[in-house]
Amino acid sequence: MQNVTSQFMAGSTSVGFATLGPWLVPRDTIADSNALRAQTRVNGALRQNGNTRDMIVTCRQLIR
């Protein structure tokens, strides 16, 4: 049975999906959580390169 959902949710919630890590750091070590580089590497090859300022929602909204 297929669930009714937006394309955004379907692409962001697959099994094993987690954009965190491999490091978590204390909040006071980050000057601006909406200006962080976000990269994805597969077997060492860069596949995605972005920034948290380009996300649909802010980091603060994600953590709530």
Q: pLDDT tens-digit profile of 2-57? A: 556 656 556 556 666 656 566 778 889 999 989 999 888 889 999 999 999 999 89
What pLDDT is recorded for position 51?
95
55 vs 64, which has greater pLDDT? 55
Looking at this protein, which amino acid is placed at residue 3? Answer: N
Q: What is the pLDDT of residue 1?
A: 46
Top-confidence residue, 12 or 60: 60
How many angstroms separate the CA atoms of 43 and 51, rounded?
Answer: 21
Give strand pairing partners of 40.
Answer: 48
User: What confidence score (pLDDT) does residue 41 get?
Assistant: 87
Q: pTM, whole model, 2 decimals? A: 0.57
